[in-house]
């Protein structure tokens, strides 16, 4: 195995291999919708109940988490499941979704994907 030089490594990191994604804009739109719902509830909480302390921000974020989840796409169809997973992953990364809830959401998406594979094929008319 050949050793790569530092410029080659940097080039590899800035140009990751492309992965097929039929509609990345749709997934980004779903994540933006979830983040907007989170931000709206967070801002409302801070405006009504908070003095701007770090404790207030923790409570506001806790209140905003369910809004993030309510804004997630339904688990109906491949594209919606893909968008749901994108929102779940992003929500986990930004701590909008707690670990226990994250496990439940990811399991629900896994079951939904499995049911897509089990759907009966449409019958051809005779």
- Please write the tens of the pLDDT for every residue from 76-102: 999 999 999 999 999 999 999 999 999
- Please write the tens of the pLDDT for every residue from 38-85: 999 999 999 998 677 889 999 999 999 999 999 999 999 999 999 999
d(CA 97, CA 54) in angstroms, rounded, equals 19
Residue 2, H or E segment: none
Cα torsion angle, 61, 42, 93, 101, sign:
positive
Phi, psi of 2 (to 5 degrees): -90, 145
Phi, psi of 51 (to 5 degrees): -110, 5
Six token digits for residue 119? 């759907």
d(CA 44, CA 49) in angstroms, rounded, equals 8
Does this model's pTM top 0.85? My answer is: no
Burial 11-25 (b: 16+ CB within 10 A, else e): eeeeeeeeeeeeeee
What does 63-117 look like in DSSP terms, one character per residue?
A: HHHHHHHHTSPPS-SHHHHHHHHHHHHHHHHTTSS-HHHHHHHHHHHHHHHHHHH
Six token digits for residue 1? 């195995």
Largest interatomic CA distance in the chain? 71
């Amino acid at each position: 195995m050949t050793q790569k030089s530092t410029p080659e490594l940097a080039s590899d990191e800035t140009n990751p291999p492309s992965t097929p994604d039929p509609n990345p804009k749709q997934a980004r739109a779903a994540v933006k919708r979830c983040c907007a719902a989170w931000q709206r509830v967070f801002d409302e909480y801070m405006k009504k109940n908070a003095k701007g302390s770090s404790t207030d921000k923790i409570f506001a974020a806790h209140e905003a988490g369910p809004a993030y989840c309510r804004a997630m796409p339904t688990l109906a169809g491949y594209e919606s499941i893909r968008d749901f997973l994108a929102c779940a992953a992003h929500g986990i990364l930004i701590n909008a979704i707690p670990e226990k809830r994250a496990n439940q959401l990811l399991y629900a998406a896994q079951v939904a994907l499995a049911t897509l594979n089990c759907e009966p094929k449409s019958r051809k008319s005779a």
